[in-house]
Structure 1
Amino acid sequence: MSLDITTISDVEDPRLAPYRDIRERDLVGREHHFIAEGKVVLSVLLRSERFQARSLLVAAAKLLGLMPVLDATKPACPIYCVPQKIMDDIAGFNVHRGILGIGERIKTPTLEEFLASLPEKALVPVLCGISNHDNMGSIFRNAAAFAADGIIIDKTCCDPLYRKAIRVSVGAALKVPYTQGEDIKEILTALEKADFRIYSLSPAASNYLKDAEVAKRTALVFGTEGEGLPDFVLKDTETLRIPIAYDFDSLNVATATGLALEHFADFDKLN
């Protein structure tokens, strides 16, 4: 199958409209689309079985370097090749990576569907109130690195398919299965019914992460920085802490997820 590559030199070309002002007008939530940025992320998108590329926008100077990925994946979507200045004018900022793509969302599984799809032995981070897109992206990257089986995101968290979150995740947001939208109370109840041992990470916990037992099914609950997890979550779950210096407050939540996932990871799945 030949590639559908079109060179465009008119900044007003209507085919470029979906890429216009993407910093202020992120496509997350709009017509079920999202923006993928950079060669690595685009490579993940084009190889994904869960998402589909609708179009690509490539700066002319970057096209040759992207060709191995395009030749390997053979995307059926249109590929628009433009001068770097047009890409920057359209996007509203300097897109130094020179590669953008529009992906189409799929229907996120319900919590019940997500839990039913998990293997008998499973490790799942649970996110409560994570509103920072950098942290969200980093958590997905950690989950992919330590072979977590998926992520549960409560209704108060930000969207993992926000452009910056996908970029920071290095495409892991398009690889790691997740469900989003339930209340944290409902999530904890469902995890208990699914035979998960539930740990919550908190600087105030009395037990240390390094001493925690690895269960067959483990859920790790992480809260937002500052406020942390709600009191009822800490009361209803086993709490763990990561030791840090006495004169310091807490770890970044993304760092905490990396340390916790490494402790509970199934090393048969790792290099």
Structure 2
Amino acid sequence: MANLIRITHCDDPAIAPYRNVRERDLAGRQKLFVAEGTVVLNVLLTSGRHAVHSLFLLENRLAGLADLLAKVPDGVPVYVADRTIMDEVAGFPIHRGVLALGYRETGQTAPAFPAGRSLVMGLVGIANHDNMGSLFRNAAAFGVDAILMDETCCDPLYRKAIRVSVGAALKLPSMTIGPASEMIARLRAEAYTIYATSPSAGLVLEDAPRAERVALLFGAEGDGLPDDILTETDGLRIGMAADFDSLNVAAASAIALHHFRKTAD
């Protein structure tokens, strides 16, 4: 049974990590991240990738959360409060009434790439959290085994990125691997065929062979992938209208990943 702890005062030190959620988004939470909403909480509780620190729930949501509460590990506190206290602590209205804190992985190591058929995503310069969350969501939908990010990418465990990813950021193996050149070297060592997406590439997506091991690289909107990456890898573009050559990076990733997908039709 979940360890329910009722909170009756906004200044209760037990819920200090939940105070001023938006300000903490910017200042950082050291080794913790925030999961928001029932869908994301379910991924946190079931994926097994991150240990759970605590839950903070609106009391009138409890009856509808029985199945989720049954998944909470023993010893994890579940703080419960009314709307006034919860909103005061968080610093803004928590409409979903469901928050949780998870622990970031420490001593992060590169994902273990599977033998045989594999699909990997590499991200360079993705600085927008909405895009980051959407990229993770698409990767999960199309069977990506791991996501590698260069050092200029934003944090995929930022609260908004997790929410937009619908929890995929908590499920998929991922890591920041340093400069993009290091990412490419690692992918080559693992025998991946590397495609760098660019509207100026000669090879059109539908003509790209489905190699057994594929890594798709995506860059930031506007700047795209750096020139040195494009010269070191095979370019790949999505065919589109002659008078338009650009898609949102999340939309582009969904189209490209679908072509190379590992999921069943």
Q: TM-score range by the shorter chain?
A: over 0.9
1:51 matched to 2:50? The reply is: yes
- Asked if the contact 1:124–1:150 (Cα under 8 Å) also holds between the matched residues in 2, the reply is yes
**In structure 1, how many angstroms separate the alpha carbons of the residues matched to 2:102 and 2:71?**
18
Report the CA distance between 1:85 and its aligned residue: 1.8
- Asked if the contact 1:27–1:33 (Cα under 8 Å) also holds between the matched residues in 2, the reply is no
- In 2 relative to 1, CA 75–40 (structure 1 residues): closer, same or farther, beyond 3 Å? farther
**In structure 2, how many angstroms separate the alpha carbons of the residues matched to 1:126 and 1:182?**
12
Report the CA distance between 1:50 and its aligned residue: 1.3
Alignment-derived partner of residue 198 in structure 1 = 194
Counterpart secondary structure, 1:23: helix
Counterpart secondary structure, 1:5: strand
**In structure 2, how many angstroms separate the alpha carbons of the residues matched to 1:194 and 1:129?**
23
Alignment-derived partner of residue 270 in structure 1 = 264
1:1-271 to 2 correspondences below 5 Å: 2-26=1-25, 30-107=29-106, 109-111=108-110, 114=111, 116-266=112-262, 269-270=263-264
Report the CA distance between 1:107 and its aligned residue: 2.5
Cα root mean square deviation, aligned: 1.6
Report the CA distance between 1:246 and its aligned residue: 3.1
Counterpart secondary structure, 1:170: coil
CA shift digits 1:106-145 (9 cap, x unpaired): 136433xx2x442322100100000001111111111111
CA shift digits 1:12-52 (9 cap, x unpaired): 11111100111111288533110000001011111122101
**In structure 1, how many angstroms separate the alpha carbons of the residues matched to 2:137 and 2:63?**
28
**In structure 2, how many angstroms separate the alpha carbons of the residues matched to 1:27 and 1:9?**
27
Range with greater deviation from structure 2 (81-90 or 22-31): 22-31
Range with greater deviation from structure 2 (180-189 or 150-159): 180-189
- In 2 relative to 1, CA 65–28 (structure 1 residues): closer, same or farther, beyond 3 Å? farther
Counterpart secondary structure, 1:199: strand
- Asked if the contact 1:108–1:179 (Cα under 8 Å) also holds between the matched residues in 2, the reply is no
Counterpart secondary structure, 1:239: strand
Report the CA distance between 1:249 and its aligned residue: 4.4
Counterpart secondary structure, 2:106: coil
Counterpart secondary structure, 1:222: strand
**In structure 2, how many angstroms separate the alpha carbons of the residues matched to 1:14 and 1:194?**
48
- Asked if the contact 2:133–2:161 (Cα under 8 Å) also holds between the matched residues in 1, the reply is yes
**In structure 2, how many angstroms separate the alpha carbons of the residues matched to 1:76 and 1:122?**
38
Report the CA distance between 1:180 and its aligned residue: 0.9
**In structure 2, how many angstroms separate the alpha carbons of the residues matched to 1:132 and 1:242?**
22
- In 2 relative to 1, CA 29–216 (structure 1 residues): closer, same or farther, beyond 3 Å? farther
**In structure 1, how many angstroms separate the alpha carbons of the residues matched to 2:105 and 2:27?**
12
- Asked if the contact 2:113–2:145 (Cα under 8 Å) also holds between the matched residues in 1, the reply is no
Q: How many residues align?
A: 265
- Asked if the contact 1:28–1:161 (Cα under 8 Å) also holds between the matched residues in 2, the reply is no
- Asked if the contact 1:108–1:180 (Cα under 8 Å) also holds between the matched residues in 2, the reply is no
Q: Give the TM-score normalised by structure 1.
A: 0.93
**In structure 2, how many angstroms separate the alpha carbons of the residues matched to 1:28 and 1:70?**
30
- Asked if the contact 2:151–2:177 (Cα under 8 Å) also holds between the matched residues in 1, the reply is yes
**In structure 1, how many angstroms separate the alpha carbons of the residues matched to 2:60 and 2:241?**
48
Counterpart secondary structure, 1:182: coil
Identity of aligned pairs, percent?
A: 50
- Asked if the contact 1:209–1:260 (Cα under 8 Å) also holds between the matched residues in 2, the reply is yes
**In structure 2, how many angstroms separate the alpha carbons of the residues matched to 1:215 and 1:24?**
45
